[in-house]
Amino acid sequence: MHKPILVIFLYVLACAHLQADAAVWQPSPGHVQEPIWPAAVPDAMPNPKPESVGPPAGREWWPRANDVSRPTMTVYAAKGRNTGVAVVVFPGGGYQFLAMDLEGTEICDWLTSRGITCVLLKYRVPDSGPTMKNGRTFYPKVQTALQDAQRTLGLMRQHAAEWHVDPHKVGVIGFSAGGHLAAAVSTHFAQRTYPPVDAADELSCRPDFAIVIYPGHLWTPGTTLSLRPDIRVRADTPPTFLLHAEDDNVDDVKHSLTYYVELKKVGVPTEMHLYAQGGHAFGLRPTKLPIGRWPALVEQWLHTIGVLSSPQEN
């Protein structure tokens, strides 16, 4: 190949590669997302749409991941004094997309600043968990987001020494649909929902604690406070923190109330905070409302359940 033609070819190839990368959500510089499945993804969707970034035209800009068929995890190392605590972060998005900054990277920035290692999970969407259509709930044949969550918790424990994490202090935090996923993995850990792949799947996928923020898909509409059938609370469900605004017009506060009642029935240590105002999908964004102080409540709760210790205790 002649040199000028070769240069043009390499330039076009490089441009194509950059465009392909731009179409897929990427973490900030210094962080690398890795596939959670070493080979074939279980129960993969046939002929999936290519992954993209950004909302539908005309909607508020959120860096969100759409049509995720190859789930990944991105590790955010603890900053300052490493507490040994780790949290897997589940962004929300109604199991249709993932709010990767609002309920992902911004959450990791907060937690890592407190000495907590984070793994941001880009789980499969859409059709990977329950969805609402015309007032009815539809469940996919396989809840593949739950598979991704179980797999990631096993990987966290497999890499605990490498990432300077205590394998007995690995929790989850989820928002909206991610809150449902946090509840799902908190109640489905006795066995994997997919055939084991490697040694990571031999390790526990039970979270040691769960932080569930404005969750959906937990309350059965039309009932007083009945839990949906895919969530089966058991006595060894991990300690849980719940937060919700009463004026949430996307996911009714009854989702948190229902989960709280079921957790208390079987004696699971649970703390719930309800606020009159806050709406939905507020994440860590600045607000003058009292609900904006929720991160301090989470940190205090982690001390209360013995996950975080004060420097004097170390």
- Region 95-100: mean pLDDT is 96
Q: Are strands 131-133 and 136-138 parallel, antiparallel or unpaired?
A: antiparallel
CA distances in angstroms from 280 to 167, 182, 273, listed in the order given: 32, 17, 15
The four Cα atoms 224, 229, 234, 238 give a dihedral, to 10 degrees, of -90
Phi/psi-derived region of residue 58, left when phi > 0, alpha when psi is between -120 and 50, beta in every other case? left
Q: Residue 63: its pLDDT value, please?
A: 78
Q: Residue 62: its pLDDT value, please?
A: 67
Q: Which CATH class is domain 34-313?
A: alpha beta
Q: Residue 60: its pLDDT value, please?
A: 58
235-251 per-position pLDDT tens digit = 999 999 999 999 999 99
Mention every residue, 6+ apart, whose C-beta is less than 8 A from residue 174. Answer: 89, 90, 92, 180, 181, 182, 183, 210, 211, 212, 213, 215
3-class DSSP state for residue 45? coil
- Of 167, 143, 172, 142, whose CA–CA distance to 156 is shortest? 167
Phi, psi of 36 (to 5 degrees): -85, -15
User: Do the Cβ atoms of 181 and 149 come closer than 8 Å?
Assistant: yes
- Region 246-258: mean pLDDT is 97
- DSSP letter at 248 equals -
pTM: 0.91
3-class DSSP state for residue 213? strand
Tokens representing 150 are 């179980």
Q: Determine what percent of the chain falls in helix, strand and coil, rounding each to the nearest 5.
A: 30, 20, 50
Distance between CA atoms of 230 and 77, rounded to whole angstroms?
Answer: 33
Distance between CA atoms of 203 and 200, rounded to whole angstroms?
Answer: 6
109-160 per-position pLDDT tens digit = 999 999 999 999 999 999 999 998 877 888 999 999 999 999 999 999 999 9
Q: Residue 313: its pLDDT value, please?
A: 53
End-to-end Cα distance, the chain: 65
3-class DSSP state for residue 219? strand
- Region 164-187: mean pLDDT is 98
3-class DSSP state for residue 123? coil
Q: Residue 59: its pLDDT value, please?
A: 55
